Amino acid sequence: MPSRKRKKVFYTLNDIAARLDLGFVDIGALLAERHIRLCTPVAALPVEVGLWENEGEPDQYAVAEDRQLLTGLVDLRPQDALAIVRHGSGTLLWLDAPSPGFRRVIGSHPERPGHDVTRDDLGIRHEDLERLTAMLGGDEAPAAPAARGRGVQPTHDWDACQLEVFRLFYFEGVPESKAALIRHVQAWFAAKGRKVPDESTLQKRLKDLWAMFAPEARRKTA
């Protein structure tokens, strides 16, 4: 009689790979499309919490409000999780937090902020595993796509555009500037034979994505 898989609080990436037949590239794609969130266990990890002023703007700055010691499972920001899955290890300087809040990792050593983790330290919670299992291999039939109306269709396929941006970030890295990202997206539309959006439209469409992933670009050029 086959053994029943135990219910756990935390499932590592190796657990996920074994249960759902996923590789690290698959997990990276799920991260990029925000189908999963990765977390890691910590014990008495010092963090600074507060709010972003002018969030998403070039002049955004952090306003600290308190310091806390975190114990338990903490969520990673998608861009940090992607980098660690891709490279195998990294130092967490920030944790995920609801907008416009932030959680900055102070760490145990005042002269060396951050918290070092490896790919083996990352995983997901039980409820996230259940949701992911249902999405990838559940018994329920997928919902039929909504029928398109007969009205005016969108000028640009923004869903496909967003997937291309995630593909670029994950496989080729974050461009050195937002302007470079806009040029890439315009070239992608042109290569697909589609109408190319103007720069002002892309500035608005890519604002949130760039705000999320720009820190990695700044680290590359520092």
CB 31 within 8 A of CB 81: yes
Instruction: Judge whether residue 2 has pLDDT over 70.
Output: no
Dump pLDDT digits (tens) for 95-116.
999 888 999 999 777 678 899 9
**For the chain, domain boundaries:** 10-137, 158-221
Per-residue pLDDT at 89? 93
Token pair belonging to 155: 């000028």
Per-residue pLDDT at 148? 45
CB 166 within 8 A of CB 30: no
Gap between the Cα atoms of 50 and 65, Å rounded: 5
CB 12 within 8 A of CB 120: yes
pLDDT confidence tier of residue 140, bands split at 50, 70 and 90: very low
Per-residue pLDDT at 4? 55
Per-residue pLDDT at 217? 61
Enter the DSSP assignment of 139.
S
Per-residue pLDDT at 176? 86
Strands 61-75 and 94-95, bridge-based pairing: unpaired
End-to-end CA distance of the chain: 57
Per-residue pLDDT at 93? 93
46-71 mean pLDDT: 87
Instruction: Judge whether residue 154 has pLDDT over 70.
Output: no
Per-residue pLDDT at 144? 41
pLDDT confidence tier of residue 50, bands split at 50, 70 and 90: very high
Per-residue pLDDT at 150? 46
Helix (H, G, I), strand (E, B) or coil at 14: helix
Radius of gyration of the chain (CA): 20
- How many CB atoms neighbour CB 79 within 10 A? 21
